[in-house]
Amino acid sequence: MEDILNLPKVSFIVVTHNFSNFVCDTLNSIKNQTYKNIEIIVVDDLSKDDTVNKIENFINSNSGLDIKLIKNEINKGQLACFLLGLQAAQGQFVCSVDGDDILFPEYCAMHLEAHMQTSVALTTCKQVEIDADNIIHTLSSIDSPGKKNTEFEIENKSYMQFNEYRKAKGINNEGCRVKVLDSDKYSFATWHWGPSTSAMMRRSVCEMLLLIDKTRKLKITADKFIFSFCHLIGSSAVIDKALYAYRRHSSNYSMANPVMGNKKYLKEKTQNSYFRNNKKIRIQMYRFIYDNRDYFRSKFNRTNLILIYKRIFFSFDLNFFKGLFKSLFI
At 169 the pLDDT is: 37
At 206 the pLDDT is: 96
At 162 the pLDDT is: 39
Q: Which residues contact 308 (CB under 8 A, 6 or more apart)?
A: 232, 233, 289, 296, 300
At 220 the pLDDT is: 66
248 inside domain: yes
> 171 pLDDT exceeds 60?
no
What's the whole-model pTM score? 0.88
Number of domains in the chain: 1
Q: How many CB atoms lie within 10 A of CB 60?
A: 8
Which stretches of the chain are DSSP H helices?
A: 23-31, 51-61, 78-88, 107-118, 163-166, 203-206, 222-234, 268-291, 293-314, 318-327
**pLDDT bracket for residue 219 (50, 70, 90):** low
pLDDT in tens, 87-116: 999 999 999 999 999 999 999 999 999 999
> 327 pLDDT exceeds 90?
no
**pLDDT bracket for residue 181 (50, 70, 90):** very high
Helix axes 318-327, 268-291, angle to 10 degrees: 110
Of residues 250 and 28, more confidence is placed in 28
325 inside domain: no
274 inside domain: no
**Beta bridge pairs of residue 181:** 236
Cβ-count burial of 146 within 10 angstroms (0-12 exposed, 13-18 middle, 19+ buried)? buried
117 inside domain: yes
b (16+ CB within 10 A) / e for 300-325: eeeeebeebbebbeebeeeebeebee
At 164 the pLDDT is: 44
264 inside domain: no
**pLDDT bracket for residue 264 (50, 70, 90):** low
296 inside domain: no
Domain span holding position 67: 10-256
18 inside domain: yes
128 inside domain: yes
> 233 pLDDT exceeds 50?
yes
Q: Give the domain CATH number at 131.
A: 3.90.550.10
At 170 the pLDDT is: 40
At 142 the pLDDT is: 79
Average pLDDT value for residue range 125-138: 90
At 81 the pLDDT is: 96
Helix (H, G, I), strand (E, B) or coil at 27: helix
Q: Are strands 67-71 and 176-181 parallel, antiparallel or unpaired?
A: unpaired
- Of the listed ranges 147-156, 178-187, 241-250, the least confidently predicted one is 147-156
